[in-house]
Structure 1
C-alpha cells in the first residue's frame, strides 16, 4: 500500500521502482588527455513516479490540493512499509491526469492516466 502524507493510494503503483542507481559519476579529460573520474553515492534526488489507471475525482482533487499546499515542503511517502521524505517534483508537472469521460456541464466522475512526480530530499 502507498500512503502519501495522509492520503491512502490503494490503486497506485511505483512506476520507476526498478533500474535506479544510487551512484553518480562525472568524467572529464585533462589537457594532457588523462581521464579523471569522480564517483559518489547520491545523498538525495531519487525520482519517484506513481501511476494509476483510474481514480475517483475526489482522490485526484485531494492530490492536487496537496501538491499546491505543500509546495516544496517535505512530507512522508510510505510504499510497502518503506518511508521516504519527498517533495513534489515541480521541475515538470507534478501531477497530471485526464478525465475518463468529458462532460460539458459537470465534473467527471473519474480521472484516468494519473501520474504523480516526486523526488526524495
Structure 2
C-alpha cells in the first residue's frame, strides 16, 4: 500500500542554473548536491533535480503544485525574485466553502509548475 509521495524528480539541463532557481527564486532549502543531482526539502517532500543520463527522461517533467498560504503575496514575491509566470493567480475550482487558486510558471529548465492555494470564502 502506498502511504505518500516522498520525492519528485525534475529533469534539468544545467545543474548550476537549476539549483540557483530553486534555491534563490523559489527559496527552497537545499539539502545537498553533486555534479548531476541536487536535493531540496519542500516541507518533508524531496525534490530531486537531476541531469538526465538517458534521453528517455530528458524534459519529461510532471507539474509540481507548490502549496502556499497567500497566493497573491507569494506570486508578487516570486515575481520580484525573477520567476516568470505563465498566468496570474486565478480561481480554478469552487468546492463548498473554499476556492482553489493557481498560477503557473516555468522554472529555469522550461518545466511548468504552479503555486496553489485553498482560500476560504463566505
TM over 0.5: same fold? no
TM-score by length of 1: 0.29
- Greater strand fraction, Structure 1 or Structure 2: 1
Which structure: larger Rg?
Answer: 1
Q: Which has the higher contact order (CA 8 A, sep 6+)?
A: 1
- Greater helix fraction, Structure 1 or Structure 2: 2
TM-score by length of 2: 0.29
